[in-house]
Amino acid sequence: MAATPIDRMTATLDFQSAALSLQAQRAKVLASNIANADTPNYQAKDFDFSQALSLATAQSASAPSRTDPAHLTAGGAPGPAPVLQYRQPLQAALDGNTVDLDTERAAFAENSVRYEATLRFLNGQIKTMLTAINGQ
């Protein structure tokens, strides 16, 4: 069966939604690393964004379809939490802390830019849909 335009639009919005959710989760992880930069024995954490996004989109694609209008949709359910990994320190600290503030700040800034870009992309898609609906 060929995908309809609404199916393609929904898939695109689902993908962007999953990306936003994961970017927000990554921002929390990176902020936690920055907040614990002076905590002895704190191990910096992060996750592989592309792997987590692939997993999240694969699971949303295999979500069960609604067979009755009274059924709840599975689209709003959060996906699995990404697998956190310990970041390898570039230079060992005497107190056992593995947070490198420069690395964390750079990762946080990059993640923030990507989050904002995803929001702008979604906003543009929604404006385009509203224009099409209103026939302007």
Distance from C-alpha of 61 to C-alpha of 37, rounded to nearest angstrom: 39
**Per-residue model confidence (pLDDT) at position 70:** 64
Interhelix angle 5-35/49-61, rounded to 10 degrees, is 140
Q: What are the sequence ranges of the domains in the chain?
A: 29-53+80-130
Name residues of the chain where pLDDT drops below 70.
1-2, 60-79
